[in-house]
Amino acid sequence: MKNTKPMKNTMETKIITSGMGLALALMTCVSTARAELYNITFTDGGANVGSGQLTVSGGVATGGYLNMTGAAAVDNSWVLSPTPSPTPGFDGYFTWDNVVMTPPSNPFLTVNGLLFTSGSDELNLCYSGSGISYDLTAITNTNPRPNPDVNYIVLTSGDATVTPVPEPINYALLAFGLIFLVGSAGRFYLGRRRAVTAS
């Protein structure tokens, strides 16, 4: 009778190798995924702290929100204004482009930055133009601008970050690859034990 054990071991080895390659590819896919959903944070190192999410398409934020705590922001919940304005918009105070530089870099915003609104109030988060600092400026009923010609009054400055949120499907694919790898390794181990016992 022809001995098929070496062939069986070779096939099992190929299965395990394939499983390892699949798992590695899926892990790479997850780690480098350029998801359209991004987490955004801001802090000035004190009481003014913010966090939220942005939906980014083609390098431009098209939706999102920012929740703030602290006196500078006045309001707690802000919604992104989805339409960039190359000229002063709404009440003539801010220009904004909603550009988000991805993959995340620092700075990830331009000097025009993002505009969030809460009712008639406006909140602008933008790159300060120097170092890695970001400026947060609000125009509200309690902090009005006397006229559009006055220089911007920066309420606070600090650090901001943006990080991609991997899509859930990538985690599912990674789990499938790891299950496949573990199963293949188990089959190989059991096959070797049977071969040793039979001999």
Indicate if the pLDDT at residue 102 is higher than 50.
yes
Contact 100, 66 (CB under 8 A): no
Closest CA to 139 of 114, 159, 118: 118
Average the pLDDT over each of 32-36, 47-51, 106-110, 163-167 and give the range with the smallest value. 32-36
| Complete DSSP assignment for 38-73 | EEEEEE-SSS-EEEEEEEEETTEEEEEEEEEESTTT
* 125 three-state secondary structure: strand
Indicate if the pLDDT at residue 46 is higher than 80.
yes
Indicate if the pLDDT at residue 45 is higher than 70.
yes
Highest mean pLDDT among 24-28, 83-87, 179-183: 83-87
Indicate if the pLDDT at residue 116 is higher than 90.
yes
Percent of residues, the chain, with pLDDT higher than 90: 32
Model confidence at 47, pLDDT cuts 50, 70, 90, reads confident
Indicate if the pLDDT at residue 86 is higher than 80.
no
CA angle 56, 156, 104 (to 5 degrees): 25
Model confidence at 122, pLDDT cuts 50, 70, 90, reads confident
Q: Provide the 10 A C-beta neighbour count for residue 183.
A: 13
Model confidence at 119, pLDDT cuts 50, 70, 90, reads confident
Give CA–CA dist 139/125, Å, rounded: 12
Nearest-10 crossing angle of helices 5-31, 168-198: 160
32 CB-side CA count, 13 A: 6
